[in-house]
């Protein structure tokens, strides 16, 4: 490895650090003021890239020259800034006081909506933008050629930092942003027009996201997958830097840029892993990142499960329900059985998450990690050991529980939004491993040929197996919720200082909860793998985690039966909508947003509330 | 041997000294009040004894055993119970379950998964609740209680660990006048009968002078006076530094 190579790698690292910082800076500013982690920030970045990739060529045709190019970039960013304003006025404004779980889900709803809108407006294909006029020839550095556009990017990061610094320090708007980041209530008490401040902040944040995306067009083609990949990286940058801190984001982006540039030499396939490991290490040492402060937390906690009198005839009703479900194969419709199997699997998946969120108050945003580990654990055992299903199930469960033990050990030190980000990051690491370790996991194609043993090979038999395992696991988890262990978990959720003062080892309790929830999700994952005959990385992806959250929220996180109802409703909705339209993401996104706004207690929770109001 | 001995505790935040060489002792069965104007360092001292804050220097000994760096959980096991300035209870549980939870933890059963929490120690919990006058509300949700009642529940929770020492941070803050005296009378009788040492901070001077066996006065992180209510009332330094030139306080009847 010679000096020139190191220099070029370092420059590459600086260029990606700049791009990352410009985008992440917007995210951290918005969080600082609104306390909302905007999942849709990556989507704004994507819209910026698509807009610029469409607008800039058009402007270059009108008048060819650097001015058209850069003007096009800035106009694209401004358009995205306005989109940010629309999002603030229509949605964010209504959820500033909502629990952080709902905020994250609502902004994920925007992600889904924008995914479909981008395809509708710009088409499904990737768009590579034009190269910048005047910057087409590479420059020579230590005898190696280096794209001159990258040099401009390297300068752009510090330039944006300087500009943001100027805005924050020298303008009234900036003073208000800093004041709100420190103490939002005080700023409100001083009679500052909050609405204007928040809208302005969203404009600035979205503008930066759009700028970050627009600047990419000569380097990467605008594509529909860039929203989730950039948002994961932005989360890492803001969390490592400390949420709300602009200098922190800059420092974190610099480190991550270099880690990516040189990490590629050590782990050629797993730059993502290196980045997320950095996050894990930093958060283990500094739970609030480089410059974050403990006071900065997201919205309030969502209200979870509470003590209530056992429902009259509850056991009887549950038994009748199970018997009815067991009779389903008598109808003999294979499609119905397939759907029913999936509903049960996802109900179990969501139910295992209920232990963490509803009981423990631990907003895990990466529950797909354990679902995927269960599925991959089973599939890998089948593929590499030639094991039968009976051995693959325990292997999946074990892998999921081990993964949960490992991830949980890092995560239980954190709280609130940091915990959500860390679990999300952990799931993304696993996603990256499944995606990039092609020799073992099959990469994008995954593993096929994961079929159940002969005795449950039929649809009916497999459905009954799924039903049995789901019922057993759900009953077990329900027992745990009612047990001293579950109560202690809930105690720590209700009041951590009180729980500690009566001698409950809060972290250990939560760690054990992660293992139990992970194992539960692992069983669901294994069942899912054998029902489809294959696994692929999407099982570990963010959308899978969000599915579980949506079901939980749909059913209501304060109920035990909620996840079961949520899974059924979501599945049936999807089954009904997906064949009718190509815009199902749009509908799903709008449904999630509507649900957060209209039914914050979920379906079961709302129905029960009606019952209690009448009683 | 004192129940609790605090030896030369020091704590600074940046350049601000919140506690400087704070030393005192709490005996069994006494109610020791820690008072001082806002910012005197009461909460700092309190949290160093409760385990929420590690001291820079100094030692905390419970029955001659050093617990200076022990976690709140370990302190609970050693026999320290506490209540908080803003009452902390488990709002998703019933009143009885709150106390049951504390008993479950006291008996080291919080890892049990095969039994129902509701069945654990209900009789003992009801017993404790009747001691604080809350037995009738046992099956109500803690979230619907009046604030004063939550404070009583909190006291029952703290007593569930059979503490030798009870730390009460502003036990009557946020309570109505009449409730204050009742809660302190209750606390006082519990301290006497169970031989529990009680250390409390308080802003209400009627409560302090009416119920404390001894009073410590903290000013800018240092103890400037210690003694019986009568002694403190007469102490010129205290009146000058803490009470300013206000007329002498009248003790509670």
pLDDT for the residue A287: 79
User: Per-residue confidence at B191, pLDDT binned at 50, 70, 90?
Assistant: confident
Cα A399 to Cα A405: distance, rounded to the nearest angstrom: 10
Q: How many CB atoms lie within 10 A of CB B148?
A: 17
Separation CA B68–CA B66 (nearest Å): 6
In chain B, where does DSSP find H-type helix? Answer: 42-50, 72-78, 95-106, 122-131, 147-160, 177-194, 205-211, 229-234, 236-241
Average pLDDT score over residue span A465-491 = 93
Structure tokens, A67: 């001015």
Average pLDDT for residues A379-398, to the nearest whole number?
92
**Taking a contact as any Cβ pair under 8 Å apart, which residues of chain B between 60 and 79 contact chain A?**
71-73, 76-77
Residue-level pLDDT at A296: 44
- Top-confidence residue, B162 or A274: B162
pLDDT the model gives residue A302: 60
| pLDDT grade for A279, boundaries at 50, 70 and 90 | confident
Contact B82 A501 (CB under 8 A): yes
**CA–CA gap between residue A108 and residue A546 (Å, rounded):** 8
Beta carbons within 10 angstroms of residue A327's beta carbon: 9
Q: Which of B82, B104, B161 lies nearest to residue A484, judging by beta carbons?
A: B104
Class of A314-614 per CATH?
mainly alpha
> Looking at CA atoms only, how far is residue B110 from chain A in angstroms?
5
B4-13 β-sheet, strand order = B16-26, B4-13, B57-62, B65-66
Q: How far is A499 from chain B (nearest CA, A)?
A: 8
- Cα separation, A162 vs B26, in Å, equals 57
**How does residue A82 score in pLDDT terms, banded at 50, 70 and 90?**
very high
CA distance A481 to A354: 10
End-to-end CA distance of chain A: 76
Q: Which residues of A touch B116 (CB under 8 A)?
A: 482-483
Q: Name chain A contacts of B117, Cβ cutoff 8 Å.
A: 482-484, 486-487
Q: Locate A81 and state its tokens.
A: 């800034």
Neighbours of A285 (CB within 10 A): 8
Assess contact for B157 and B98: CB atoms under 8 A: yes
Ranges of H-type helices in A412-501:
416-436, 438-441, 459-482, 484-494, 496-501
> pLDDT at residue B252 above 50?
no
Average pLDDT over residues A172-181: 84
The predicted model gives B106-115 an average pLDDT of 91
Q: Does the pLDDT value for residue A405 go beyond 50?
A: yes
Q: Please state, rounded to an integer, the average pLDDT across all residues of chain B.
A: 88
Query: Over 70: is that where the pLDDT of A298 sits?
Result: no
| pLDDT over 70, % of chain B | 95
| Model pLDDT for residues A529-543, shown as the tens digit of each residue | 999 999 999 999 888
Here the tokens at position A56 are 């800039």
CATH 3.40.50.300 boundaries in chain B: 1-79+163-253
Domain boundaries, chain A: 22-258, 314-614
pLDDT tier, A299 (very low <50, low <70, confident <90, very high otherwise): very low
Q: pLDDT band at residue B160, thresholds of 50, 70 and 90?
A: very high
Instruction: Give the other-Cβ count within 10 Å of A64's Cβ.
Output: 12
On the question of pLDDT at B147 being above 70, the answer is: yes
Query: Does the pLDDT at position A553 exceed 90?
Result: no
Chain B interface disruption, residue of A473, A498, A516, A517, most B CBs within 10 A: A498
Q: Which residues of B touch A305 (CB under 8 A)?
A: 92
- Rounded percentage of chain A residues whose pLDDT exceeds 70: 96
Residues on chain B touching A486 (C-beta within 8 angstroms): 113, 117
Counting Cβ atoms within 10 Å, is residue B205 exposed (0-12), middle (13-18) or buried (19+)? middle
* Residues from chain B contacting residue A479 (CB–CB below 8 Å): 113-114
List residues of A whose CB lies inside 8 A of any B CB.
303-307, 479-480, 482-488, 490-491, 493-495, 497-505, 509, 512
Who's near A68: CB < 8 A, 6+ residues apart? A56, A59, A60, A62, A133
C-alpha span between B155 and A52 (Å, rounded): 64
Higher pLDDT, B93 or A63: B93
Instruction: Decide if A491 and B101 are in contact by the 8 Å CB cutoff.
Output: yes
Is a pLDDT exceeding 90 seen at residue A505?
Answer: yes
What pLDDT band is residue B242 in, cutting at 50, 70 and 90? low
- Distance, CA of A276 to CA of B114 (rounded, Å): 38
**How far is it, in rounded angstroms, from Cα B47 to Cα B169?**
9
Q: Write the residue in B94, B117, B160 that is nearest to A484 by C-beta.
A: B117
pLDDT of A368:
96
Confidence (pLDDT) at A36: 86
Q: Is the pLDDT of residue B25 over 60?
A: yes
Search chain B and give the residue with CA nearest A498: B88
Q: How many CB atoms lie within 10 A of CB B30?
A: 18
Residue B162 to chain A, least CA–CA distance (Å):
11
Max avg pLDDT among A24-33, A39-48, A305-314, B213-222: A39-48
Highest average pLDDT, of A443-457, A513-527, A578-592, B124-138, comes from A513-527
pLDDT confidence of residue B251: 46
Q: Which of A229-233, A301-305, B32-36, B236-240 has the highest mean pLDDT?
A: B32-36
With cut-offs at 50, 70 and 90, classify the pLDDT of residue A467. very high
> What is the overall mean pLDDT for chain A?
87
pLDDT in tens, A180-193: 877 777 777 777 78
B206-242: burial string, b at 16+ Cβ within 10 Å, e else: bbbbbbbbbbbbbbbbebbbbeebeebbebeebbebb
Closest Cβ opposite residue A498 in set B89, B92, B141: B89
pLDDT in tens, A443-454: 888 898 888 888
For residue B57, list its beta bridge partners.
Answer: B10
CA distance A502 to chain B (A): 6
Q: Is B26 on the interface with A (CB under 8 A)?
A: no
Which residues have a Cβ under 8 Å from the Cβ of A441 and sit 6 or more positions away?
A: A376, A380, A433, A434, A435, A447, A537
Q: Name every chain B residue with its beta carbon within 8 A of the beta carbon of A306.
A: 92-93, 141, 143
How far does the CA of residue B182 sit from the closest CA of chain A (Å)?
23
| Record: contact A483-B105, CB cut-off 8 A | no
**Comparison of pLDDT for A69 and A303, the residue scoring more:** A69
pLDDT bucket at A328, cuts 50 / 70 / 90: confident
Does residue A311 carry a pLDDT above 60?
yes
The nearest alpha carbon in chain B to A477 belongs to: B113
CA B251 to mean position of chain CA atoms: 22
Report helix, strand or coil for A583: coil
Domain B1-79+163-253 CATH assignment equals 3.40.109.10: no
Residues of A with CB below 8 A from B157's CB? 498, 502
Q: Most confidently modeled of A182-186, A367-371, B203-207?
A: A367-371
On chain B, the residues whose CB falls within 8 A of the CB of A314 are: none
pLDDT at residue A303, rounded to an integer: 67
Query: In this complex, which of B102, B113, B118 lies closest to A502 when CB atoms are compared?
Result: B102
CA dihedral (B238, B239, B244, B247) in degrees, to 10, reads 160
Inform me whether the pLDDT recorded for B249 exceeds 60.
no
Mean pLDDT, rounded, for A539-550: 89
Please, which pLDDT band fits residue B148 given cuts at 50, 70 and 90? Answer: confident
Interchain CB contact of B228 with A (< 8 Å)? no
Report chain A residues whose CB lies below 8 A from the CB of B143.
306
Selected for mutation to probe chain A from B110, B122, B141 (highest A CB count within 10 Å) is B110
Residue of A300, A361, A483, A490 for testing the chain B interface, max B β-carbons within 10 Å: A483
pLDDT at A259 over 50: yes
B90 in contact with A, Cβ within 8 Å: yes
Residues of A in contact with B165 (CB under 8 A): none
């Amino acid at each position: 490895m010679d000096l020139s190579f190191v220099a070029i790698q370092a420059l590459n690292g600086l260029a990606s650090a700049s791009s990352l910082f410009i985008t992440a800076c917007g995210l951290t500013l918005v969080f600082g003021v609104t306390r909302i982690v905007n999942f849709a920030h990556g989507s704004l970045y994507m819209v910026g890239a698509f807009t610029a990739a469409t607008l800039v060529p058009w402007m270059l045709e009108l008048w060819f020259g650097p001015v058209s190019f850069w003007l096009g970039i800035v106009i694209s960013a401004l358009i995205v800034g306005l989109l940010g304003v629309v999002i603030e006025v229509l949605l964010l404004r209504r959820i500033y006081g909502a629990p952080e779980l709902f905020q994250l889900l609502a902004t994920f709803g925007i992600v889904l909506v924008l995914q479909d809108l981008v395809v509708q407006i710009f088409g499904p294909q990737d768009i590579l933008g034009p190269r910048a006029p005047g910057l087409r020839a590479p420059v020579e550095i230590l005898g190696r050629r280096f794209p001159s556009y990258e040099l401009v990017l390297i300068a752009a990061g510090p330039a944006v930092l300087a500009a943001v610094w100027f805005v924050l320090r020298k303008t009234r708007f900036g003073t208000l942003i800093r004041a709100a980041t420190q103490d939002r209530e005080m700023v409100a008490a001083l009679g500052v027009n909050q609405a204007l401040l928040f809208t302005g902040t969203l404009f600035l944040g979205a503008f930066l996201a759009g700028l970050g995306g627009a600047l990419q067009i000569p380097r990467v083609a605008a594509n529909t997958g860039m929203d989730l990949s950039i948002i994961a990286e932005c989360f890492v940058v803001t969390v490592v830097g400390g949420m709300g801190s602009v200098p922190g984001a800059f420092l974190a982006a610099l480190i991550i840029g270099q880690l990516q540039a040189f990490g590629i030499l050590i782990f050629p396939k797993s730059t993502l892993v290196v980045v997320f490991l950095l996050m894990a290490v930093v958060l283990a040492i500094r739970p609030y990142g480089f410059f974050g402060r403990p006071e900065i937390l997201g919205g309030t906690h969502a209200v979870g499960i509470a003590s209530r009198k056992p429902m009259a005839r509850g056991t009887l009703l549950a038994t009748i329900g199970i018997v009815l479900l067991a009779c389903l194969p008598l109808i003999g419709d294979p499609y119905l059985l397939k759907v029913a199997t999936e509903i049960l699997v996802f109900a179990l998946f969501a139910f295992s998450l209920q232990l963490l969120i509803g009981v423990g108050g631990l907003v895990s945003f990466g529950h797909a990690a354990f679902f995927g580990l269960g599925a991959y654990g089973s599939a890998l055992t089948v593929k590499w050991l030639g094991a039968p299903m009976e051995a693959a199930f325990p292997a999946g469960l074990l892998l999921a529980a081990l993964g949960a033990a490992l991830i949980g050990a890092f995560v239980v030190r954190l709280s609130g939004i940091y915990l959500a980000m860390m679990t999300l990051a952990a799931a993304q690491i696993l996603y990256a491993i499944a995606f990039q370790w092609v020799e073992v996991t099959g990469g994008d194609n995954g593993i096929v040929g994961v079929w159940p043993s002969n005795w449950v090979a039929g649809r009916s038999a497999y459905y009954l197996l799924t039903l049995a395992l789901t019922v057993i696991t759900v009953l077990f988890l329900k027992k745990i919720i009612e047990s001293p262990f579950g109560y202690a978990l809930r105690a720590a959720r209700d009041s951590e200082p009180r729980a500690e003062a009566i001698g409950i080892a809060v972290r250990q309790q939560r760690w054990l909860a992660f293992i139990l929830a992970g194992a539960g999700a692992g069983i669901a994952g294994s069942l899912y793998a054998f029902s489809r005959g294959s696994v692929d990385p999407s099982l570990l992806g963010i959308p899978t985690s969000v599915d579980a959250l949506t079901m939980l929220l749909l059913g209501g996180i304060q109920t035990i039966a909620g996840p079961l109802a949520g899974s059924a409703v979501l599945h049936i909705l999807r089954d009904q909508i997906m064949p009718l339209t190509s815009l199902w993401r749009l509908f799903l996104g709008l449904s999630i947003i509507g649900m957060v706004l209209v039914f914050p207690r979920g379906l079961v929770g709302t129905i029960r509330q009606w019952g209690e109001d009448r009683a | 041997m004192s129940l609790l001995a605090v030896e030369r505790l020091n704590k600074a935040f940046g350049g601000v000294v919140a506690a400087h060489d704070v030393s005192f002792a709490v005996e069994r069965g006494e109610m020791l009040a820690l008072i001082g104007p806002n910012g005197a360092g009461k909460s700092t001292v309190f949290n160093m004894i409760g385990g929420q804050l590690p001291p820079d220097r100094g030692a905390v000994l419970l029955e001659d055993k050093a617990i200076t760096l022990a976690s709140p959980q370990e302190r609970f096991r050693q026999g320290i119970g506490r209540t908080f300035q803003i009452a902390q209870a488990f709002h998703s549980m019933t009143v009885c379950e709150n106390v049951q939870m504390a008993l479950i933890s006291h008996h080291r059963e919080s890892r049990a998964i095969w039994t129902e929490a509701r069945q654990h120690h209900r009789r003992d919990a009801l017993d404790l609740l009747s001691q604080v006058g809350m037995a009738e509300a046992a099956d109500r949700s803690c979230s619907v209680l009046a604030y004063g009642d939550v404070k009583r529940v909190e006291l029952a929770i703290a007593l569930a660990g059979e503490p030798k020492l009870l730390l009460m941070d502003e036990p009557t803050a946020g309570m109505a006048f009449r409730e204050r005296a009742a809660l302190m009378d209750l606390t006082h009788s519990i301290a006497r009968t169970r031989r529990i040492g009680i250390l409390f901070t308080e802003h209400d001077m009627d409560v302090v002078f009416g119920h404390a066996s001894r009073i410590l006065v903290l000013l800018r992180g240092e103890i400037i006076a210690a003694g019986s209510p009568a002694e403190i009332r007469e102490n010129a330094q205290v009146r000058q530094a803490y009470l300013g030139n206000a007329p002498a306080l009248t003790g509670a009847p």
